[in-house]
Structure formats: C-alpha cells, structure tokens
Amino acid sequence: MPTYSSVITGTGHHLPKRVIANSYFEDKLDTSDEWIITRTGIKQRYFADHEETTSTLGIEAAKKAISDSGVALSDIDLILVATSTPDLTFPSVATQIQAGLGIEKGCAFDIQAVCAGFVFAVANANALIKAGEATKALVIGTETFSRILDQKDRSTCILFGDGAGAIVLEKTEVVDDGKQAGILATDLNSNGRYRELLYVDGGVSSTQTTGYLRMQGREVFRHAVNKLVSSSERVMNKANLDTIDWAVPHQANFRIIQQTSQRLNLDKDKVILTLDKLGNTSAASIPISLSITNQEGKFKPGDIILSHAIGGGFCWGSFVFRWQ
C-alpha cells in the first residue's frame, strides 16, 4: 500500500511598501542605529501602511508561491495561515485569502502559535496531506506586528516587522530510496506556564482592546536557545539524520540564532539570515527566508533543511525536509 509525503514545490513572499530604518527610532527613544545593530543584528524592517493588512500581504505572497510551484489555483484544497495579527476577530485570515485568490473549494483556517506558527502550520498541513484530507496546500505565515507594538517600549518596538511568506505543499507518493523529497519529520511543543514572559496585554474576552506586545527579553532568550536546540535534536533523531545542509531558523535575534547554531554545531555559512533587513516578522519569518533563499538559488535538489522557531505561550518546534 503506498505511503505519501508532502513536498515543497513553491515559495513566495511579499513585504510592505514602507521601509523603517533604525534611524526612525532615534527621535522617539533613547537608542541609536549602533545600539540596535549591536544588540539585535537588525538594520531595518518593514511596517504596513493603512491599506496593507495581514490578509492582503498574505494574498500577494500566496500568488507568488503558486506561480513558483506551477499548480493551478483550482487545485489548491487546503489553506493554513499562521498569524497572531488577524485583520478581524473573525472570519479567519485564511478564508479571506481563500476569497482573495478566488478559491472556492477545500478548507481554510488559521493557526495561532505566535512566532512558531509557521512550524505548527507546516506540521498540520503535512499531517492532513498524509491522512488524505488534502493534495495541494498553501501554508502561509503573515503578520502586521507593527499594529501591536508600543512605540515607547524600546525593548520590543525595535525588534519586529511586517511581511508575509508562503509555500505550496503537494502530496507525493513515497519512493523508498532514502532520497525522498518532502517533510521528513516535525516536532511540536508548548507550555502555558511561561505566558508572562511574552504576551499581548489585550484581547477580546479580557480587555476588549488590541493591546501591546510585552516581553521579558532575558528570560525569553534563555528559554529560546535551550528549547530550540532540544527540539532540533529531536526532529533530527526522528528523521534519522546526523547532518543538514541548511538551517532556516526563525529570525528573532542574531544572538539567539548564533548560540543555537553553535550548540547544534551548524556551519555559520549554512545558517540563513534575513533578520538584518526584515527584523522579526513572527510567523512570517521562516517562509520569507525560505522564499528569499530559493530565489537566490542556494537550495539544491536533495539538500536537507532544518527550520525551528519559538513563540509566546511558550510554543516551539521544528521541522526538517529534503528539497526537491
């Protein structure tokens, strides 16, 4: 009886029009370009204008991923959107993107795991495809985090940016030759005890306001490195892998990426960095980085690629796949 895998056949990303250099914050906060770069590695980020929303950014990224994959819009039967910044309380961003693309079949829904959202969405899409619930899926990470930033809080407002990234996952029969392209393994985790370390202080049920992002940076840093390393080791074991060709980590902070990579013994030249130009785009950061790297032609058929992320809650996880 055949078994199936889900293969990444297309990538795409879309960024807002407005570029925000570090100098933007110098008149508003006690900070400087040098201070931000030294502590975070970020030189600029993008903020959405009023007419740009989480769904409109996601639609544009999805269009590019579909074009890259060559699949027909009418063949898409699953849309999963990872976001913490939806346009509306409901309906979901996924259904808005579905309508924006003119897709009328299949199902579409959102996944909320903050910065780890794309990892969770990939794992769920992969499981649904392998279970026979879908054949061609759009998996999108899209965010407008600028909407929930306290511009007076230096510890958070300099870190985040807006954008969207997308991939197309297609169902493929597994050929047992040890070189099967597609998602090889996933690892998902969460622990709600850490809520106070990274959260938004508003919500529909609690305050009836949007609220602002709040973070205890040092504690988040400590947990991030340990949890990302352990998840990556588990997912590599699940896939029976000893080495990888590329790491495409969540782009949260240069020091987190650096320390995590060192503990995993990853070659720094094989760790993809987009943080300097994009900031932390939360659930969008991994798919944007995948799309940029694919456009640059760095991925080769058969390459093994590891991605991992951690977000508020905490939620964290990883996935590993072979490039087609």
C-alpha–C-alpha distance, residues 46 and 285, integer Å: 12
Give 222's Cβ-side CA count (13 Å radius): 5
DSSP class per residue in 215-244: E-HHHHHHHHHHHHHHHHHHHHHHTT-S--
C-alpha–C-alpha distance, residues 138 and 217, integer Å: 33
Biggest CA–CA distance in the chain, Å, is: 65
Q: Which of 126, 250, 253, 308 does the annotation list as catalytic?
A: 250
Spacing of C-alpha 83 from chain mean position: 9
Of the candidates 4, 3, 2, 313, which has an alpha carbon nearest to the alpha carbon of residue 172? 4
Catalytic annotation present for 124: no
β-pairing, 162-173 vs 4-14, is antiparallel
Q: Is 34 helix (H, G, I), strand (E, B) or coil?
A: helix
Tell me the sheet residues that pair with 199.
214
Catalytic annotation present for 107: no
C-alpha–C-alpha distance, residues 183 and 169, integer Å: 9
Cβ atoms of 140 and 164 within 8 Å: the answer is yes
Backbone φ, ψ for residue 105 (5° rounding): -125, 175
Q: Which of 22, 189, 253, 280 does the annotation list as catalytic?
A: 280
Backbone φ, ψ for residue 11 (5° rounding): -135, 155
Which residue type, as a one-letter code, is found at position 204?
Answer: V
Residue 43 burial by Cβ neighbours in a 10 Å radius (0-12, 13-18, 19+): middle
Q: Which of 13, 115, 157, 223 does the annotation list as catalytic?
A: 115
Residues with Cβ < 8 Å from 210, sequence gap 6 or more? 147, 148, 200, 202
Catalytic annotation present for 115: yes
Catalytic residues: 115, 250, 280
